[in-house]
Amino acid sequence: MATRSAIGIKHGDRIKAVYCHYDGYLEQAGRALYTHYQSSVKVNKLISMGDMSGIGADVGEKHAFNERSEYLPDGIATQCTFYGRDRGEEGVEHKSFATEADFIDYYNGCGCEFYYLYDHGVWYYSIGKDFAPLHESNKVKELA
């Protein structure tokens, strides 16, 4: 069973975001973002790749979609798996939203349970309402 999430970055008054199908919970996607995506350059590169099956410590290189990734000692995959790059799907580009509520509403319709937003160097998360700093999550603190 998948734990779906949405990952976004704020650009001025817009949010660019993508869907992530697997392991969207705080201990996995939250920890991967918090520990491996701490620059806007790296976050923008992640978002530019479009919707993904699973997040890894790095965007990585094109690979067979069903190829299993290696894992780092922290339990995070070494690279991401994207629907467009790795499986050749079309229509999986990032989406753009005017508000946080629009971001959550859209991805709620995709079955997302967790929402992550990078804004001015800080990661935030939500489980469907308000956003809180990711570094304040006990689940992320314990594992980081």
User: For residue 135, what are the domain limits?
Assistant: 5-143
Question: Using one digit for the tens of pLDDT, what is the confidence trace for 114-123?
Answer: 999 999 999 9
CB 71, CB 33: distance < 8 Å = no
Domain count, the chain: 1
Count the helices and strands in the chain (H runs, E runs): 5, 10
10 Å CB burial of residue 64 (0-12, 13-18, 19+) is exposed
Question: Using one digit for the tens of pLDDT, what is the confidence trace for 57-110?
Answer: 999 999 999 988 899 998 999 999 999 999 999 999 999 999 999 999 999 999
Measure the CA–CA gap between 138 and 104, rounded to whole angstroms.
Answer: 22
**pTM of the predicted protein model:** 0.94
